[in-house]
Amino acid sequence: MLKKIPEETIVRLSYYLRALLYFKEKETPIISSKRLADFLKISHHQLRKDLSYFGQFGRKGVGYSCSKLIESIRDILGLNREWSACVVGFGNLGRALSFYRGFKDEGIIIRAAFDINENKINKDYPHLKVYSLDKMEKVIKKENIQIGIIAVPKTAAEEAAKKLCTCGIKAIFNLAPVKLDVPKEIILKDVDLSCQLTSLTYHLKNLETKQ
């Protein structure tokens, strides 16, 4: 528990959690690291090492109780409680994120979306309302929103981030293709789909030249 925990370990814990939910549902109450790791196409060493950063969760010679390990990982990731999020930018990507069930299953609830487009705002969806940007501060405070998801075009991303920060957000999940400037106490995670996709063409090109 004293050593530095790799960020990749944290992300993998999410994978473990999801797989465990599947196994608990589908198959067996007890699972070995080998079985779980095979399912996720990683090594069982890695899985056990990742868990060992946080404690001991299995029984030697036996394996892990799915439901107990699920609870433990939920504790570690802070998913034993609800978190409130909002989406900035209600285009296709923003909508996709707003309605994605997977977040909700993990206790991350998207309470509000913001956009500048008059045609999009003030619309009510089952568990979500779309507001204009100038309502941000009020809504974030009222709903106690901690996480901001940026899904605006790149030219608007920096401004969206600034606004989220001044409204008291604690973490930003940025899907816009820009490196944001945010105060260091803000937890920031970038996912740049375009850069990830482009890495495929590199490998495709090399595949061709090898042949």
Residues in contact with a copy of itself by CB under 8 A are 7, 10-11, 13-15, 17-18, 39-41, 76-79, 83, 91-93, 95-97, 99-100, 102-103, 106-108, 146-147, 149, 170-171, 173, 177, 179, 187, 189, 191-207
Beta bridge partners of 148: 86, 172
Closest CB 47 distance from DNA, rounded Å: 8
Sign of CA dihedral 179, 173, 74, 82: positive
Closer to DNA by Cβ: residue 72 or 174:
72
Q: Is 85 helix (H, G, I), strand (E, B) or coil?
A: strand
CA-to-CA distance for 4 and 120, rounded, in angstroms? 44
Q: Which residues partner with 129 through β-bridges? A: 112, 124
Q: Which residues contact 197 (CB under 8 A, 6 or more apart)?
A: none
Which residue, 43 or 166, is less far from DNA as judged by CB? Answer: 43
Does residue 42 interact with DNA by CB under 7 A? yes
Type and span of the H or E element at 133 = none
The site partner of 6 among a copy of itself, DNA, none (C-beta below 5 to 8 Å per kind) is: DNA
Query: What are the angstrom distances between the C-alpha of 183 and each of 10, 163, 164, 170, 186?
Result: 22, 12, 11, 10, 6
Cβ–Cβ < 8 Å for 173, 151? no
Distance of closest approach, residue 202 Cβ to a copy of itself, in angstroms = 5
Instruction: Residue 134: name its binding partner from a copy of itself, DNA, none (Cβ under 5 to 8 Å by kind).
Output: none
C-beta of 131: minimal distance to a copy of itself in Å? 19
Q: Which CB atom, from 52 or from 132, has the smaller least distance to DNA? A: 52
Q: Work out what residue 118 binds among a copy of itself, DNA, none; the CB cut-off runs from 5 to 8 Å by kind.
A: none
Scanning residues 137 to 176, which ones bind DNA (CB under 7 A)?
none
